[in-house]
Structure 1
């Protein structure tokens, strides 16, 4: 059991989501939440406070009698649990739960400590909310999606528990937990914020960075297969550009190929001898998909760094309305629930991953097209040409999936539609942006799986495994442990799915032999 840190970090999310770490609230957090709740309860007695003794949104002009104020919160939760569409995978739902828990633990929402304590228990016991794709416009935050979390906390609706859906009341009872008894404004505090878009975004950032690492490694392996010259990855050449991402990508690739026997040094082959040929058999420079990898993946590296930083800033922020500030003894009405920061980052990340997918597809095409590479059989076919087909069929899947990513890359941040009687007259569409980015990342892993299988088939076609760098050999063995070398045509779909599942859950090129 680890105390919940403040500020919470991306590493904290990783350990909870992917390593199963349990969390506990420090005493200071419980005290801060209690102070906020007690202050609001006292402060609101003789004042008009939005969402405490008023209706919501355009109905805020209606004052709510004291006798109805708790029922108001239940009505809000139930009326907004209107989500439809696909259900969020458990790791994303858990991330959203952790994001909401941490934001509420900052003590700006006036909730009762029982609410946060129940969220901790649900998180630690993997009682996860059923959150649907469709519903949120990202203006008052993720109202509809978070309403389903709040619904589960009051013992209604369905949850995911031990890998299957069941009624929330049943799952809570199995763990000896009581449903939440709502207090002064907990309905609004639970659903008013950016925690679903942020939670999805954090998982997107983790999977996106891993995808980028794999693409960097595959690009290095591409350079080995074609026996590329080393200077386009050199520190001097890439240091002549001021972009951190480009330098990082080039450095990573240099590390991977450091002990390769296939990479050529330009000064040894072209600068240290008199060149007499009038037509050069070997390429002086590789195609852009091989030579310009640092320049192509560098901006994606930078985008991921900025995206992750923005997500962590958001999850460490109070994204509720109103904000209850005990220090100044005041309640501030505003718009911290607006999701523009996350929506913008998700759109940028989605564009970046779509471009990464395009690079993977172009590298794949280079391997499959013998007229381009001039060293491999068509479609890396290790069987009988004409009779067998090699990776020909898989290219169709890669091409169609890449095309889908190009379409999905269209920004949604700019597609605001007013709603809520025009109270929400400009919205972020943040949850939609995060969900679409999730889809694009998942698609990219499919194209990556096809590239990886093609790469190991190419290694065997060239019989060059012994000359690869030690890190590339490791990846070759990993993929070959999933798919043995094949000459005769086989059904590739199960193997490609297995490769995708493998690479999505492990970091590449980390071990050396």
Structure 2
């Protein structure tokens, strides 16, 4: 189990809960604070005008709600905002959203009854995922629409995803003897007023972006082996004079991967040979193309961008992103905008741009392998059959090229695309959930591109017959993937095997990591 409330949740803790399905345990001391926070709100709110308890919401806050209607007000809020459309989010993203919302409540500043927290714990531990739609949130008063669909499930309405199917919520609740939530004071507003959808999705994006970076570094190392590149472009001496953590982390990892390769060449043994000076035109390339030689400079900023995004989103995960903030320690309630998603939105846009650039690098490396006029080592399209009769990787290149083009188009930032709404009460918004979902699509696309890239590298290894001279890390990957996508000479439809390679890249854990 992973305990929530005792200390700050890390990205690793989040991954254990969401991806590996570890169960949630609730810290007793934190739960005591939640209960004290609720009791304070119950007493403090008596005979006072407090937003979202006895007032309308947003631009309707100037309207007082009568005492007999204040609980129904919370139900009305949840039901009216359950207005999402488009595709259902995958269960993993719904689980991520619930973990993020639970952790925010456990900070004990939301004034919720402990029943909400125990219900979220039960849903997470039974893997009951609310049906939440992609479209709806503008990320300003939080992820209102996405979180309203969570609220709908918590009160026993709507639908859930469970064991691969979609069911009425109450049917699954009854199966586990789970009692739907009864509103106590402000649980409706507390549930929907936060950044937990964009944060949960964003953290999954960061986990997957790290995998993409690790694969891109490994594939870059392998392509340098295939073309028998020189070793100085990833050397310590060259990279250390550029003072960026990411660049040097990538260079260090490439050296670790290639340390026992028998394919990489030492420049001093080849080009620094005096006999070469007698040649008017050098047969050996003095320097490789940028997609091979500038790997540390291209992937380094991507490393740094992922690290920054992780720092910001882990902070958001462990923050109070509600309004108003119920402060039982200082005996007050503070109204503001902690639900605003700008921190997440900006980081998701930066991450999206970075991953698009990663896919562009891999596409250029792929093109280098496929174009015999560039590499001067391999047949066109790494075709292991009869030229003109067979096609090799030709068809798959189209898929990689078009998918990278889609990434490039989607890289326009959502962060600067504010559209006022809510009767201009929300006159500047973050579009954070949109930003996180678009980043997820760019990441998914990039796994498709890298799958094609990897198969091309393996075909090149087979053509050159250099398996036994590869670095041990490269050789291990070759041996793991070849059973999934075997060497091919004759033309056959590759799409099913390609999907298996993509799945392997997305779900493998034992990758050499850039640190």
C-alpha distance in structure 2 between counterparts of 1:244 and 1:434, whole Å: 25
Query: Does 2:490 align with 1:480?
Result: no
Match of 2:290 in 1: 288
SS at match of 2:397: helix
Indicate if the aligned counterparts of 1:201 and 1:434 stay in contact, CA closer than 8 A: yes
Query: Does 2:3 align with 1:3?
Result: yes
Structure-to-structure mapping, 1:309-388, within 5 angstroms: 309-388=311-390
Deviation at 1:510, TM superposition (A): 3.5
Structure-to-structure mapping, 1:59-458, within 5 angstroms: 59-275=60-276, 276-458=278-460
Indicate if the aligned counterparts of 2:58 and 2:422 stay in contact, CA closer than 8 A: yes
1:302-345 CA-partner distances (Å, limit 9, x unpaired): 00000011000001110000000111100000000000000000
Indicate if the aligned counterparts of 2:214 and 2:512 stay in contact, CA closer than 8 A: no
Indicate if the aligned counterparts of 1:131 and 1:148 stay in contact, CA closer than 8 A: yes
Equivalent of 2:471 in 469, 472, 476:
469
Indicate if the aligned counterparts of 1:483 and 1:495 stay in contact, CA closer than 8 A: yes
Indicate if the aligned counterparts of 1:17 and 1:94 stay in contact, CA closer than 8 A: yes
C-alpha distance in structure 1 between counterparts of 2:422 and 2:33, whole Å: 34
SS at match of 1:140: coil
Runs (4+) of structure 1 exceeding 6 A deviation are none
C-alpha distance in structure 2 between counterparts of 1:476 and 1:306, whole Å: 32
1:157-186 CA-partner distances (Å, limit 9, x unpaired): 001111211011111111110000111000
Indicate if the aligned counterparts of 2:142 and 2:193 stay in contact, CA closer than 8 A: yes
Deviation at 1:6, TM superposition (A): 2.2
Indicate if the aligned counterparts of 2:363 and 2:449 stay in contact, CA closer than 8 A: yes
Indicate if the aligned counterparts of 1:405 and 1:440 stay in contact, CA closer than 8 A: yes
Match of 1:18 in 2: 19
1:426-445 CA-partner distances (Å, limit 9, x unpaired): 00000000000000000000
C-alpha distance in structure 2 between counterparts of 1:508 and 1:328, whole Å: 48
C-alpha distance in structure 2 between counterparts of 1:302 and 1:401, whole Å: 24
SS at match of 2:52: coil
Deviation at 1:20, TM superposition (A): 1.8
C-alpha distance in structure 1 between counterparts of 2:91 and 2:265, whole Å: 47
C-alpha distance in structure 2 between counterparts of 1:409 and 1:390, whole Å: 31
Change (3 A) 1:209 1:134: same
Unaligned ranges ≥5, structure 1: none
C-alpha distance in structure 2 between counterparts of 1:98 and 1:361, whole Å: 36
C-alpha distance in structure 2 between counterparts of 1:143 and 1:198, whole Å: 13
Indicate if the aligned counterparts of 1:474 and 1:509 stay in contact, CA closer than 8 A: no
RMSD: 1.0
Indicate if the aligned counterparts of 1:408 and 1:440 stay in contact, CA closer than 8 A: yes
SS at match of 2:138: coil
Indicate if the aligned counterparts of 2:271 and 2:286 stay in contact, CA closer than 8 A: no
Match of 2:59 in 1: 58
C-alpha distance in structure 2 between counterparts of 1:484 and 1:105, whole Å: 50
Indicate if the aligned counterparts of 1:213 and 1:507 stay in contact, CA closer than 8 A: no
Deviation at 1:2, TM superposition (A): 3.4
Deviation at 1:51, TM superposition (A): 0.3
Indicate if the aligned counterparts of 2:2 and 2:17 stay in contact, CA closer than 8 A: no
SS at match of 2:482: helix
Deviation at 1:204, TM superposition (A): 0.2
